[in-house]
Structure 1
């Protein structure tokens, strides 16, 4: 948000929407008196506040971490959550990445399976209403793979995506990255 205006793609065209007409918690905008689903990418909106209770998932090709904002929007305090062990057997997700002697990219299959497993876990948590608002920070390639596996509920719950590798960073570094454009 810059000067109280959100910029993004709504109803097939670029528009500027005042902050009073955008509801990030539900991913909706107010156009012509009606609240409509937001069609643009969440990361187009610049610096943000992190609502209380928001879950922040930080993912790369091998690891992941979960945090929750235990503070408020103005003064977030990230509390680390236990990270579940995942079954990373979904090698079907990386079907477009073939491994052979001439193209030894087996690690890509493993990274794709990891992303698919994380997305599956997030989908389940959103569906069970244990995650209401979600921020996803992932290495660029991993973020692309995650998007292939989000269900509609996870897409709606995701209030922000950040294409950056922040695994192992301290909470203040994570907050600073989210607030930076």
Structure 2
């Protein structure tokens, strides 16, 4: 994924959310953290789709992780409506990204330039930057 200069990058997994900005170029990204809000996942609407008791027991579906993804999408929606960024890319683990997509506001969709279903939460900045170049 080539992230343009001054574009924002949201990194989401089932527990963490970080908003970064690329101070570098698309070929040599230099990420800087802009925000790391503590989200309170209260939207358990995914539970309607994930009522399989076996899947819950085997860890295939974690409603807390999905609620966190919904909260991240809601935070990004508010930021897009407040014109906090002009261009945004999202990197999230596949489950989180799938849940987030269900909650995108039109304003967020208008600034969204890329999505990547990849788990990078907990990685160092330099490792995330190198993964951006390989995506």
Q: TM-score, normalised by structure 2?
A: 0.86
Deviations 1:80-105 (A, max 9, x none): 12311122111123321126488436
Give the whole-Å Cα distance in 1 for the aligned partners of 2:29 and 2:53: 47
Find the partner of 1:80 among 33, 41, 46.
Answer: 33
Give the equivalent residue in structure 1 for 2:7.
Answer: 54
Deviations 1:94-143 (A, max 9, x none): 32112648843696211111010000000000111002111100111111
* Kept after mapping to 1: 8 A contact 2:56/2:62: no
Give the equivalent residue in structure 2 for 1:162.
Answer: 116
What pairs up with 1:15-164 in 2 under 5 angstroms? 47-48=1-2, 50-98=3-51, 100=53, 103-104=56-57, 108-164=62-118
| Count of aligned positions | 134
CA RMSD, aligned part only?
Answer: 2.2
Q: In 2 relative to 1, CA 102–151 (structure 1 residues): closer, same or farther, beyond 3 Å? A: closer
* Kept after mapping to 1: 8 A contact 2:17/2:36: yes
- For structure 1, the 5+ residue unaligned runs are 1-46
- For structure 2, the 5+ residue unaligned runs are none
Give the equivalent residue in structure 1 for 2:127.
Answer: 173
Give the whole-Å Cα distance in 2 for the aligned partners of 1:176 and 1:99: 38
Give the whole-Å Cα distance in 1 for the aligned partners of 2:92 and 2:55: 29
Bigger radius of gyration among the two: 1
Q: Which has the higher helix share?
A: 2
Q: Which has the higher strand share?
A: 1
Q: TM-score, normalised by structure 1?
A: 0.66
